[in-house]
Every structure is written in C-alpha cells, then in structure tokens.
C-alpha cells in the first residue's frame, strides 16, 4: 500500500556494497532494525529464512522470502507474515556505487493495513535512513579490515513517496 524510497551514492566499489546488501545474513551488521538472520544456508531466489526484527515496542521473529535476486545488482525481500518488503538496486558509478532502496508493505490482512496506513511512511523513512547510515558504517569497517576499499561514505539523500 505505502512505501518510501531513498537514493544515495556510496563511495565504495559495487562488490563491497553488494557483499553487504546482497546477503541477508549480513544485515545485522548494518540494518539497524535487523537483529538476527537464521536458516539461510545459501542466498538464492526463492529461499526463505527467519529474521528477528526490532520494532518500536518489541522484537518479532518472522519468515522472509527472497523474491528476486540478480547478482551484483538487485535484491527484493518480503516478510511472509506482514507483507513488509525491501528492494535494493545497485549500479556501478565510476568506482563508487549508486544505491536505490525501497521499503514498504503489501499487507495481506486488515491489521497490517491499519499499521501501514497509520505509521507506514514515517517508519519506512526511518528504516531507510538508518539502513543507509549503517551501510556507510559497515563499508567503513570493511575498509579498515581490507585496505584498498573506497571510504564507504554515503552522500546525497533523496526521498520519495
């Protein structure tokens, strides 16, 4: 029903950014709302996994599906309970990475539609803001561990509804 998008230029090679974005098992390293990911032996389209997500009042455990995945380019994930989804699209940009992310909800039930209507856009915007900040920090940590990677700084923020 509702969604939010954000774009940013990340000063790190696309391979470094994809290693974080393209593997949900690494989300707890940078996506602030993701506490834990389990049950994902390989990252393939159609695979499911269990995710512990931090919400405003508590943490919940739900199953997610990798809806689509194109290596080094695109990943779309969906919660099988609420219909919450995220999509990350990466493009190489002269040694850096242009990233576009969208989060939203396609609620299957009335209670999730109510949450989406009441809180959706603000919550999605906060998730994106925190995710891009976390992605920048994770890329910086990767830079410290692996010399030669770009700085991992994120510049530019564009919001759309």
Radius of gyration of the chain (CA): 15
**According to CATH, what is the number of the domain 3-155?**
3.30.530.20
Distance separating alpha carbons of residues 92 and 99, to the nearest angstrom: 9
Distance separating alpha carbons of residues 136 and 47, to the nearest angstrom: 27
Q: What is the pLDDT along the chain (161 residues), one digit of tens a residue?
A: 899 999 999 999 999 999 999 999 999 999 999 999 999 999 999 999 999 999 888 999 999 999 999 999 999 999 999 999 999 999 999 989 999 999 999 999 999 999 899 989 999 999 999 999 999 889 878 867 876 554 344 444 454 45
Q: Are 82 and 62 in contact (CB under 8 A)?
A: yes
SS3 41: coil
Q: Where are the beta strands (DSSP E) in the chain?
A: 3-10, 34-38, 48-54, 59-70, 74-79, 84-93, 96-105, 154-160
Domain boundaries, the chain: 3-155
């Amino acid at each position: 029903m509702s969604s939010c998008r954000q774009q940013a230029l990340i000063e790190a090679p696309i391979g470094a950014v994809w290693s974080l974005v393209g593997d949900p098992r690494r989300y707890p390293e940078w996506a602030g709302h993701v506490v834990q990911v389990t049950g994902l032996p390989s990252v393939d389209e159609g695979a499911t996994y269990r995710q512990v997500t931090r919400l405003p009042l508590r943490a919940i455990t739900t199953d997610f599906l990798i809806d689509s995945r194109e290596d080094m380019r695109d990943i779309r994930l969906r919660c099988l309970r609420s219909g919450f989804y995220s999509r990350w699209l990466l493009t190489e940009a002269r040694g850096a990475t242009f990233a576009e992310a969208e989060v939203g909800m396609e609620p299957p039930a009335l209670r999730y539609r109510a949450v989406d209507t009441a809180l959706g856009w603000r919550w999605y915007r906060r998730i994106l803001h925190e995710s891009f900040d976390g992605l920048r920090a994770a890329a910086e940590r990767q830079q410290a561990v692996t010399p030669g990677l770009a700085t991992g700084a994120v510049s530019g923020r564009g919001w759309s509804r």
